């Protein structure tokens, strides 16, 4: 099948059937999962999928349908159904596709690794076993495992619409994860680590992943509650990424329009420390959050979100941009079974100049957070409260492990009180950040 020709034909037939505008989003993919637990194969899965979503507008009325049946007879009935749905729904003057014509020069971001298609099941099984064996050998107190897993997959995405957009791209992903369990004096602790990349050769080795997972697991043995007090809090990169990632929800143009975010009416204002520069970029080559175009056919780009503490922008898909009277930002995301929603690409905090060791050494007494539980963020007020685990800092050194703590504060206060930003930025997921130090937060424990 020529997927681009097929998608274009569906668009033409939808227009012929009575749609004013039509858009096709087609996906075809493969995914694999191999997992072991205690050295025995627990999961061995390979699956393929395909689907096509059709979004049509007729008289500013929206119709949407999706299917995995690409046969000629089924597709013709499917198109008629989508157009009929549009004619039966309520009119909304903000409905429609992006008004910018097609013909963009979409970049080749190098998102597809052909080597992954030939990655053998035997290698995946051995990688899982090596991760568990490495974790068990690291410390005798690691005597159990929630498993080790290798995931990989590839996909083809095609977007075509009646404004002239027609583009397709392939992408791959692969990741390793290891979850050891340790026991000491009858108390159990679980840790994990992973490596997630587009390309097989970019992955950390199974031994490296397992060693970090084991170290993190053992570091929490003997954990106790911290005293309730206000102290500096240092977030390791995964945890600071969680804090920074939550900002995007407050920048969602739909929430801003409805005034349901603590960042409403904040454009051009200083909402964070001058050390805070946040970027959203869908064009980083080989990055796991990259894509050449968004879910509506607009090219992605790199955008400064917060510039040295100053808020620069909100994010919009076409529908929300039409309501506000602005332009979409190229942040519409979707699968074939859904209409577009506003999402981030590679969303990250720009690294600073302090090493993680310098940041920890600057704290007389405080908490180094290595794990958080729950979400606990009120998007309207910015109030944050989350369960936390980590290590207590005394006189600039990591001392005993802490569990059952709660950290609390307001997001605007947290952002404004960022005192140090690490130089250890690493693109591990779609949302990334280096180590950060917040001057003071409430840590609740015993």
- Which residue range forms the structural domain that includes residue 39? 3-218
- If one counts the domains in the chain, the total is 2
Please compute the mean of the pLDDT values over residues 350-363 and round it to a whole number. 97
Can you give the pLDDT at residue 446? Answer: 57
How much is the mean pLDDT over the chain?
95
Q: Tell me: do 171 and 306 sit in the same domain.
A: no
- Give the chain's count of helices (H) and strands (E): 9, 20
pLDDT at position 375, please? 79
Residues 208 and 258 occupy one common structural domain: no
Q: Are 136 and 142 in contact (CB under 8 A)?
A: yes
Rounded to whole angstroms, the Cα distance separating 215 from 186 reads: 19
85 and 23 within one domain = yes
What's the pLDDT score for residue 103?
A: 61
pLDDT at 445: 81
What are the pLDDT digits (tens) for 143-179? 999 999 999 999 999 999 999 999 999 999 999 999 9
Q: Are residues 59 and 159 in the same domain?
A: yes
- DSSP letter for each residue of 292-320: SB-TTSPBP-EEEEEETTEE---B--HHH
| Local confidence band at 39 (pLDDT 50, 70, 90 cut-offs) | very high
DSSP H stretches of helix in 328-394: 356-361
CATH number of the domain residue 44 falls in = 3.30.2290.10
- pLDDT digit string, tens, across residues 184-210: 988 999 999 999 999 999 999 999 999
CA-based nearest residue to 113, from 170, 158, 172:
172
Out of 45-59, 70-84, 88-102, 359-373, which region has the weakest mean confidence (pLDDT)?
A: 88-102
Q: Give residue 392's pLDDT.
A: 96
Question: Where is the domain boundary, 180, 199, 218?
Answer: 218
Instruction: Tell me the three state secondary structure of residue 165.
Output: coil
In the block, residue with structure tokens 């917040």 = 438
- Statement to judge: residues 78 and 28 lie in one domain: yes
Residue 338: which residues within 8 A CB-CB, separation 6 or more? 53
Q: What share of the chain is helix, strand, coil (3-state, %, to 5)?
A: 25, 40, 35
Residues 165 and 259 in one domain: no
Q: pLDDT tens digit string along 408-444?
A: 999 999 999 999 999 999 999 999 999 999 999 999 9
Both 148 and 283 in one domain: the answer is no
- Does 230 share its domain with 112? no
Burial class (CB in 10 A: 0-12, 13-18, 19+), 105: exposed
Whether residues 313 and 178 share a domain: the answer is no
């Amino acid at each position: 099948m020529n997927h681009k020709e097929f998608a274009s034909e569906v668009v033409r037939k939808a227009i012929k059937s009575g749609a004013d505008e039509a858009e096709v989003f087609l996906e075809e993919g493969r995914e694999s999962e191999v997992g072991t637990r205690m050295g025995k194969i627990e999961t061995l899965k390979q699956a393929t999928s395909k689907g096509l979503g059709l979004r049509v507008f007729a008289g500013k009325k929206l119709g949407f349908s999706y299917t995995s049946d690409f046969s000629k007879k089924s597709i013709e009935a499917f198109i008629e159904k989508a157009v009929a749905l549009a004619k039966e729904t309520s009119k909304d003057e903000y409905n429609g596709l992006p008004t910018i014509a097609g013909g963009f020069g979409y970049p080749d971001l190098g998102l597809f690794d052909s080597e992954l298609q030939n990655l053998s099941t035997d290698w995946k099984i051995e990688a899982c076993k090596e991760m568990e064996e490495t974790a068990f050998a690291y410390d005798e107190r690691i005597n159990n495992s929630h498993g080790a897993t290798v995931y990989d997959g590839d996909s083809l995405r095609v977007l075509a619409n009646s404004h002239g957009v027609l583009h397709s791209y392939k992408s791959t992903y692969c990741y390793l994860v290891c979850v050891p369990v340790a026991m000491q004096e009858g108390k159990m602790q679980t840790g994990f680590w992973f490596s997630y990349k587009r390309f097989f050769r970019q992955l950390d080795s199974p031994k490296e992943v397992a060693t970090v997972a084991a170290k993190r697991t053992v570091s929490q043995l003997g954990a106790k509650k911290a005293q309730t007090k206000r102290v500096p809090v240092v977030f390791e990169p995964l945890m600071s990424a969680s804090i920074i990632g939550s900002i995007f929800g407050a920048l969602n143009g739909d929430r801003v329009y409805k005034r349901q975010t603590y960042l409403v009416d904040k454009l051009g204002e200083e909402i964070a420390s001058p050390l805070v520069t946040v970027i959203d970029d869908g064009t980083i080559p080989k990055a796991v959050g990259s894509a050449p175009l968004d879910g509506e056919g607009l090219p992605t780009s790199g955008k400064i979100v917060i510039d040295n503490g100053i808020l620069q922008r909100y994010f919009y898909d076409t529908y929300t941009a039409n309501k506000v009277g602005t332009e979409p930002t190229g942040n519409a995301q979707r699968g074939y079974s859904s209409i577009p929603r506003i999402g981030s690409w590679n969303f990250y905090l720009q690294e600073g100049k302090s090493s993680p060791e310098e940041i920890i050494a600057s704290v007389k007494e405080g908490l180094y957070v290595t794990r958080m539980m729950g979400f606990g963020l009120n998007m309207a007020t910015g109030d944050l409260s989350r369960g936390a685990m980590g290590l207590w800092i005394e006189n600039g050194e990591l001392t005993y492990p802490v569990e059952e703590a709660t950290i609390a504060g307001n997001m605007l206060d947290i952002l404004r009180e960022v005192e140090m930003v690490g130089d250890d930025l690493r693109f591990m997921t779609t949302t990334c950040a280096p180590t950060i130090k917040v001057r003071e937060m409430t840590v609740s424990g015993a």
